[in-house]
Amino acid sequence: MTTKDFQRRSPLMIFLHYFKNHKKLFAIDVLCAVGIAAIDLLFPMVTRSALYDMLPGQLYRTFFTVMAAVMACYVLRSFLNYIVAYYGHTFGIRVEADIRRDLFHHMQELSCDFYDNNRTGKLMSRLTTDLFELTELAHHGPEDLLTSILTIVGALAVMFSIRWQLALVVMLTIPVFLVVVMTMRRRMSRASAAAKEKTGHINQEIESSLSGIRTAKAFANEELERRRFDDANEIYKTSKRQFHKAMGMFHSSTEFFLCSLNVIVIGVGGYYVMEGEMDYRDLLTFTLYISSFVTPMRKLSSFSEMFSNGFAGLNRFVDVMRMEPTVQDQKDAKPLENVHGQIQVENVSFAYEGDLAVLHDVSLTIQPGETVAIVGPSGGGKSTLCQLIPRFYDVTSGSISIDGQDVRTVTQRSIHQNIGIVQQDVFLFADTVFENIRYGKPDATMEEVVEAAKKAEIYEDIQAMPKGFQTYVGERGTLLSGGQKQRIAIARIFLKNPPILILDEATSALDSVTEAKIQRAFDKLSVGRTTVIIAHRLSTIRSAHRIVSIADGVITECGSHQELLKTNGIYAQLYKTQNALALEGM
């Protein structure tokens, strides 16, 4: 389904849509459940026949034959219960897996601003906890609803054939029960949704604390983290209080109603027996059918609780699926092909949120194969400009073009395939060194990966690792040094071999010797490619064709290293300050 389909359809229809791919499993589950319901309806009928005909008529052989047949039916019932339990849960898990797959794929399509505004723990909660109860709903929901209705209708039909007045009394109680169930269900739904929101909060805190455990230890703030967790845990402990209250009211009300039903039947039936209008054996059969009647009524009440929990998670799933990426390909967008690398920024202004602009009317043209360094104070807009080029965000006004094509008119995928980015905050996956390098080109051979590692000056380090390229790097690369992580990220770009490079403080974590080696490698890689470098360490960009200074969202200077030193502007001041600090350090 598309985002438009999710916006147009109701949550219930969306949920049922996921049953289509598993129709056979669903049919087996329901048919077996119907068979169980039919066997449950059989026993009271056999009991009535035995009391009226077999035992009074001394048909003992027939009686024991029928009992043996009933026992065989209960053996069959056990087998059907196994099928329902096994294949029913298999069906539910497959539906949940399909929903989780679509949710993850949709999250991959959402723009960067979605992740700016949503913490990882909250998103993890939507992908895991929220969807877990959908398994139970997908499995038990339709099955319980169908078999309960069939059992209730079947039991009422037999009871009407025995004594219609007493059956009418039983039937009239059903609307009262349904009113109680629906009223309580709405209250539980609201409470369940609120509980899931608070559960997402504790997941956020856990994710944040575990991700920052090294920082916590470095500052000896374990006690602070414990208090933060305890506060979140207290919220969790009370998060379901209202839900449990609503659930308690629901169960107590339904149990009172169902237990009272037996009293009503015995009372009214007893009156008919006293008046000679009803046989006690019919009353006994009625009480057996009330047991068959009460079981599906309990299932209906459980279904109502399951529905409340499941649909609270389903609604949160649907909320995300209805979101549209803020950055989207145009309908007629074409791939960006045969890229030469000209980048043109024309009168670009940009604000992340509201009216707080980060860039103001910025214009810049970068020629194919040119290396342009962007410098300036922190918060001036350097990284923002470099995130607009690959279209991680859309400009507020103005335009950015690659080879004369506005980035909004070509596919995002093709833009990203033609731009290589190395950031200061390197992210490595919890996998091997080999797989992290090969992420730059998923179908790369071992020889290509080795060549990329050599160009990034990381090959010797890898050879010294316990398992070489198959060494596990740890969560976010924690088992590697900062320089090693940075060089693995650089090796990815060598492997990707894009026509445009964006280097955001790409050598910041390297020592001077390694930095010099990488700088030589970058110089080779930059030949014939357009390269944009964001740098605070100005000694690394002197060979750039042009240096652009950005401060407070505007370009203040543009020229070569020597030209900017002569103007004695912001760049010259930054350069002199860094040299002075270097001399002071020496």
Q: What is the DSSP string of 110-123?
A: S-HHHHHSS-HHHH
pTM for the structure as a whole: 0.73
Q: Could you give the CA distance from residue 435 to residue 441 in angstroms, rounded to a whole number? A: 10
Q: Which position has the token pair 């009211």? A: 249
Contact 494, 441 (CB under 8 A): no
Q: Could you give the CA distance from residue 82 to residue 303 in angstroms, rounded to a whole number? A: 20
Coil, helix or strand at residue 349: strand
Q: Which residues, including other chains, have CB under 8 Å from residue 330's CB and lie 6 or more apart?
A: 408, 409
- Number of helices (H) and strands (E) in the chain: give both, helices first: 21, 10
- pLDDT tens per residue across all 586 residues of the chain: 888 888 888 888 888 888 888 988 888 988 888 888 888 777 777 776 776 777 677 777 877 888 888 889 889 988 988 888 888 888 888 888 898 888 888 888 888 888 877 777 677 777 777 777 777 788 777 877 888 888 888 878 877 877 788 778 878 877 777 777 777 767 776 777 677 667 766 766 776 676 666 666 666 777 877 887 777 777 766 767 777 777 777 777 777 777 777 787 778 778 877 877 777 777 777 777 777 777 777 777 777 777 777 887 888 888 888 888 888 888 888 998 888 889 999 999 998 876 678 899 999 999 998 889 898 877 788 888 888 999 988 898 999 999 989 999 999 989 988 988 887 777 888 888 898 898 888 888 999 999 988 888 888 888 998 889 898 888 777 788 877 888 888 888 888 889 998 888 766 556 667 667 667 767 767 777 898 988 777 766 767 889 898 888 888 888 888 888 888 877 888 777 766 655 454 4
Cα 409-113-384 angle, rounded to 5 deg: 75
In the numeric block, which tokens belong to residue 133?
A: 């109860």
Q: Could you give the CA distance from residue 572 to residue 567 in angstroms, rounded to a whole number? A: 7
Tell me the β-bridge partners of 419. 500
Q: Could you give the CA distance from residue 196 to residue 192 in angstroms, rounded to a whole number? A: 6
Structural domains in the chain, sorted by start? 3-321 (1.20.1560.10), 343-585 (3.40.50.300)
Cα 538-539-543 angle, rounded to 5 deg: 100
What are the distances in angstroms from CA 356 to CA 118, 349, 396, 428?
20, 11, 11, 32
Tell me the β-bridge partners of 555. 550
The sign one gets for the Cα dihedral 479, 484, 489, 494 is negative
Contact 373, 423 (CB under 8 A): no
Contact 306, 136 (CB under 8 A): yes
Q: Which position has the token pair 């080879």? A: 403
In the numeric block, which tokens belong to residue 415?
A: 């833009």
CB atoms near residue 176 (< 10 Å): 10
Q: Could you give the CA distance from residue 68 to residue 189 in angstroms, rounded to a whole number? A: 46
Q: Could you give the CA distance from residue 117 to residue 113 in angstroms, rounded to a whole number? A: 6
